[in-house]
Structure formats: C-alpha cells, structure tokens
Amino acid sequence: MSSIEDKVLEAFKSAGKPLRPGDVAKMTGLDKKEVQKAISKLKKEGKLISPKRCYYTPA
C-alpha cells in the first residue's frame, strides 16, 4: 500500500463517520484526484465500503 492510501485510510478511521472524497482531500491536503484513485484501490482491496452514494467508510 502506498503512503497516499495509508493517509486516506487513516483519515477515514480518524473521522469516525462516512466521508466524501473532497472531505478527505481537505483533511489530508492531498489532491482530490489522488484521493479518488486511492479510494478506488482501497475499495477493490475491501478496506473501504460505501454505505451511501459518494460516501465511504472503513470496512
């Protein structure tokens, strides 16, 4: 896992609630496109789930 994915996953864990990619980008200071790529990869790996459209939370 890359450091970007680590940062993104950590942001979700620390928030304690479902977040949108834009929220994570603001929290981490990363580019929104990088965050979206990381979310896609984390979803494929089963580390993130989407409880509702456009929101994600740790699995």
pTM of the model: 0.90
Confidence grade of residue 2 (pLDDT, cut at 50, 70, 90): confident
Residues, the chain: 59
Share of the chain above pLDDT 70, in %: 98
What does the alpha-carbon distance between residue 16 and residue 3 come to, in Å, rounded to a whole number?
20
CA distance 41 to 59: 13
3-58 belongs to CATH 1.10.10.10: yes
Above pLDDT 90, what percent of the chain? 97
Higher per-residue pLDDT: 2 or 22: 22
Count CA within 13 A, CB hemisphere, residue 57. Answer: 8
